[in-house]
Amino acid sequence: MRGRHLASYGFTRRELADTVAHGEIRRIRPGVFATPTADIDVVAAAAHGGSLTCARALRAHGVWVQEDDEHPHVWLGASGRSHTHTGCACVEHYRPGTMHLGVTEVEQALIHSYGCHGAEFFLAAFESAWNRRLIGASAIRRIRAALPHGARWLVDFARSDADSGLESIIRLRLYLQGISVETQVTLPDVGRVDFVVAGRVILEADGRENHDNPTNRHRDLRRDAAASALGFETLRFDYAMIIHDWPTVLTAILAALARARP
């Protein structure tokens, strides 16, 4: 918080100096203060002169992100002044809007993330934020308008019911391959599955924690057996395969589709 804002709560300059001296708050730079327990990335952004944005800001809001930023990304408004500080490796963002010290709001952080991380990252984060009701209709329109013309289709393509970022990434990658999928399909004796392709192939995206839990693994095996009894082939991929070994995943999907379409 800026010192002038603290003054509006009744703090005098002397009182601020005393609280800093006693370690109750920290002076980040002249006129800017933080509590000792404030997040290190938020403090770095404030020291730089702006608010934390991009992947680390989205994660702070509870949005699913595909990858983290290597260094803090800092929004400085349209033409804010940056400040050097100890260990500074900040990535600067200059965009119109009202910037407040702290963590950038979800709407702006999503816009910033497209420029830094591209379409796939943006779609997964956008759908996560939408699913968690962190953005509404007005924000969605503003986000779409702020994207480059060639990227606005991503907002039109997005869904509000995407359960995970992995599902968002798979759906986008298959769409770009010309493969359409049914999402969140409920099958008798099986339950809800992530995707059905060509009416006969089930695709399941398992999060990082799924295979570490024997109960989950047993449940999935029973679901796969029930799906097989209905004539479905189930392909199940984990986080590492989807993110780091997509060619293997795509080859398996294409082979299953070939078997499903004599």
Going from N- to C-terminal start, the domains of the chain cover 39-153, 163-260
Of 248, 252, 245, residue with least CA distance to 202: 252
φ/ψ of residue 182, rounded to 5: -95, 135
Structure tokens at 39: 């997040």
**pLDDT(52) > 90:** yes
CATH number, domain 163-260: 3.40.960.10
90-116 per-position pLDDT tens digit: 999 999 998 999 999 999 999 999 999
Length in residues, the chain: 262
- CA dist 244 and 145 (Å) reads 32
- CA dist 258 and 262 (Å) reads 7
116-163 per-position pLDDT tens digit: 999 999 999 999 999 999 999 999 999 999 999 999 999 999 999 988
Of 250, 240, 248, residue with least CA distance to 66: 240
Quickly list DSSP for 185-201: EEETTTEEEEEEETTTE
φ/ψ of residue 30, rounded to 5: -50, 120
